[in-house]
Amino acid sequence: MDIIHTPDEMQRWSDSVRALGEKIAFVPTMGFLHEGHLALMREGRRRAGALVASIFVNPTQFGPSEDFARYPRDFERDCEMMEEVPVDAVFAPEPSAMYAPDAQTWVEVTEVTRGLCGPFRPGHFRGVTTVVAKLFNIVKPHIAVFGEKDFQQLRAIQRMVADLNFDVEIVPFPIVRESDGLAMSSRNAYLSPQERERALALSLALRAVRDRFEAGACCAEELVQTAKCVLRRTAGVEIEYVEAVDSVTLERVSSIDRPVLVAIAARVGRTRLIDNTVLVP
Amino acid sequence: MDIIHTPDEMQRWSDSVRALGEKIAFVPTMGFLHEGHLALMREGRRRAGALVASIFVNPTQFGPSEDFARYPRDFERDCEMMEEVPVDAVFAPEPSAMYAPDAQTWVEVTEVTRGLCGPFRPGHFRGVTTVVAKLFNIVKPHIAVFGEKDFQQLRAIQRMVADLNFDVEIVPFPIVRESDGLAMSSRNAYLSPQERERALALSLALRAVRDRFEAGACCAEELVQTAKCVLRRTAGVEIEYVEAVDSVTLERVSSIDRPVLVAIAARVGRTRLIDNTVLVP
């Protein structure tokens, strides 16, 4: 497994792989890998001859009051896990190799980033789309795999790829869950044992939504209230939002008359968690 | 010469050229070609095995009160001129092939677009950097040639390329002038014979600046006033700005103690013209 630290070296690596006619799959991550990341990597492995993963905690997608400094990091353990997949090349730059002091270019996707997490994390999606545009130009992949846990991020990236004509196929991958239902996330590491128990409320709320939907409920407001009731039942869970939106435009809907994303963001202690499900009528 | 109308077809053309190990040079234009464009294309020709030019009057870089609708177009004549270079492939999409109705992604370079033409053409540079990012992803060039007449555009694109890690070498090319000094521009076609005469004031003003600089003047304000005096002497020339700025950051300078861009924008009748020169101490 090659470990690469500079954009230039990564570009030359990918050029040489492309010159052999090999397809490159790419999985961008912020590291502190879990089974969810590994599932994305295995999907990339399956779809291409060469597999690149990146480990980069991107400062520009964190707000000033967010958890950039304390975001969990363990590069050695990450490398051991990636060897197992196996990953062919890891791109792990320092922030200074990614952002020049006079950098001043932003890639911004406007509409799909407006709702859901947008108002709660100003600048977040701009940071994400900018760094993913950079990573695509550095890694030059044919396909890139993104998890559906960060559903709004997935839609922003799909929009960016279409709008800016990136010749990269975006492969969405279903949420990977712990055996009790909790969506896997590097931020789960922040949870105390008690918080870990409480965090189950998110997936339980979505389970309740699915059950009601399957029992015939198709009013968006009713389903949102169903989720909120479950969440409110658990002490120490503070709802940021529960929304039902069109699964493509992410605009609010009033009924489930097309594929609808039901998305939750909530705080459990200091930890912000998200989860979602798509209802297809 | 291949004439290509869709992004997808262009990407496949470039893929096949790259698969042969051939280098691609690219010259993006809005068409209505003149000797200035052809000089850029010949430079591209010289530097790479394959040469692509685009002809696309990009709607997103025109303000609502600007000349998008009446911008001069003559695709047949453009093709004849490009055959002569020769250009290998012309990318000439319809606006609908470039912008989906729900397109919502912008590439924005903040600092170098703030001054000079920035305040006079709100949204212009955002339109330019967005379409050039798209064109780079569509044409996949190794190098791209840009004229120094649009100096601020050149700097915005260089910044974007560096900041977003586009693996494209940007080649700047000096301004090409008519024999009497007028900088070549497709918009010169708007000028009546009398306006064509008056338009000379811009290059004469820059000539006067160079003369004074070579005679020892190095105060930016004095050189700016020198240019303004020449421009004011000509009836029918309305100054938009004359500025002396650092040739890299485009920030205003007070003296010519490093390479300094002296840039002019002025209206001659309804036609907006720009010209510039770089003073190197």
Q: Residue A173: its pLDDT value, please? A: 98
Contact status of B132 with chain A (Cβ, < 8 Å): no
Burial class from Cβ neighbours inside 10 Å (0-12, 13-18, 19+) for residue B216 reads exposed
Among B196, B170, B180, smallest CA distance to B40 is for B170
Tens of pLDDT, residues A168-198 = 999 999 999 999 999 999 999 999 999 999 9
Tens of pLDDT, residues B77-117 = 999 999 999 999 999 999 999 999 999 999 999 999 999 99
Q: What is the ipTM of this complex?
A: 0.97
Contact (CB<8Å) A105/B163: yes
- Residues in chain A closer than 8 A to B109 (CB atoms): 104-105
Q: Which residues does A125 contact at the CB level (< 8 Å), separation at least 6?
A: A61, A108, A109, A113, A117, A118, A152, A153, A156
pLDDT band with cut points at 50, 70 and 90 for residue A16:
very high
The pTM for the full model equals 0.98
H helix or E strand, kind and range, residue A122: none
Q: What is the 3-state secondary structure (H, E, C) of chain B?
A: CEEECCHHHHHHHHHHHHHCCCCEEEEEECCCCCHHHHHHHHHHHHHCCEEEEEECCCHHHCCCCCCCCCCCCCHHHHHHHHHHCCCCEEECCCHHHHCCCCCCEEEEECCCCCCCCHHHCCCHHHHHHHHHHHHHHHHCCCEEEEEHHHHHHHHHHHHHHHHCCCCCEEEEECCCECCCCCECCHHHHHCCHHHHHHCHHHHHHHHHHHHHHHCCCCEHHHHHHHHHHHHHHCCCEEEEEEEEEECCCCCECCECCCCEEEEEEEEECCEEEEEEEEECC
- Residues in chain A closer than 8 A to B8 (CB atoms): none
Q: Residue A276: its pLDDT value, please? A: 98
Give the whole-angstrom CA distance, residue A220 versus residue A205: 14
| Amino acid (1-letter code) at residue A235 | A
Q: Residue B94: its pLDDT value, please? A: 98
pLDDT band with cut points at 50, 70 and 90 for residue A161:
very high
| B47 neighbors B137 (Cβ within 8 angstroms) | no
Contact (CB<8Å) A105/B106: no
Give pLDDT < 70 ranges for chain B. Answer: none
Tens of pLDDT, residues A188-237 = 999 999 999 999 999 999 999 999 999 999 999 999 999 999 999 999 99
Contact status of B155 with chain A (Cβ, < 8 Å): no
Question: Encoding tokens for residue A57?
Answer: 């905690």
| B25 neighbors B53 (Cβ within 8 angstroms) | no
Residue A139 pairs in a beta bridge with none
- Residues in chain A closer than 8 A to B7 (CB atoms): 165
Question: Encoding tokens for residue A178?
Answer: 């712990």
Beta strand pairing call for B237-246 and B260-268: antiparallel
Question: Encoding tokens for residue B250?
Answer: 């485009």
Task: Suggest the residue from A13, A104, A152, A170 to mutate for an interface test with chain B (most B CBs closer than 10 A).
Answer: A104
Hey, how many other C-beta atoms are within 10 angstroms of the C-beta on A180?
Answer: 11
| B230 neighbors B240 (Cβ within 8 angstroms) | no
Residues B170-198 as b or e (16 or more Cβ within 10 Å = b): bbebebbebeeebbbbbbbebbeeebbeb
| Amino acid (1-letter code) at residue B84 | E
Give the whole-angstrom CA distance, residue B240 versus residue B244: 14
Q: Residue A178: its pLDDT value, please? A: 98
> Among partner residues A19, A133, A163, which is closest to B103 by beta-carbon distance?
A163
Q: Residue B280: its pLDDT value, please? A: 97
Percentage, residues of chain A above pLDDT 90:
100
- Residues in chain A closer than 8 A to B133 (CB atoms): 107, 133, 164
Residue bearing tokens 């490398």: A79
Q: Residue B60: its pLDDT value, please? A: 97
Average pLDDT in chain B: 98
Give the whole-angstrom CA distance, residue A176 versus residue A43: 13
**Domains of chain A: residue spans and CATH:** 2-173 (3.40.50.620), 186-276 (3.30.1300.10)
pLDDT band with cut points at 50, 70 and 90 for residue A48:
very high
Cis geometry, peptide bond prior to residue A86 (ω within 30 degrees of 0): yes
Q: Residue B88: its pLDDT value, please? A: 98
When computed from its CA atoms, the radius of gyration of chain B, rounded to whole angstroms, is: 19
Contact status of B19 with chain A (Cβ, < 8 Å): yes
pLDDT band with cut points at 50, 70 and 90 for residue A4:
very high
Residue bearing tokens 């205003």: B252
Q: Residue B120: its pLDDT value, please? A: 97
Q: What are phi and psi of A202, to 5 degrees?
A: -65, -50
Give the whole-angstrom CA distance, residue A150 versus residue A172: 10
Q: What are phi and psi of B73, to 5 degrees?
A: -135, 135
CA distance B27 to chain A (A): 18
Residues 57-116 of chain A with CB under 8 A from chain B are 100, 102-112
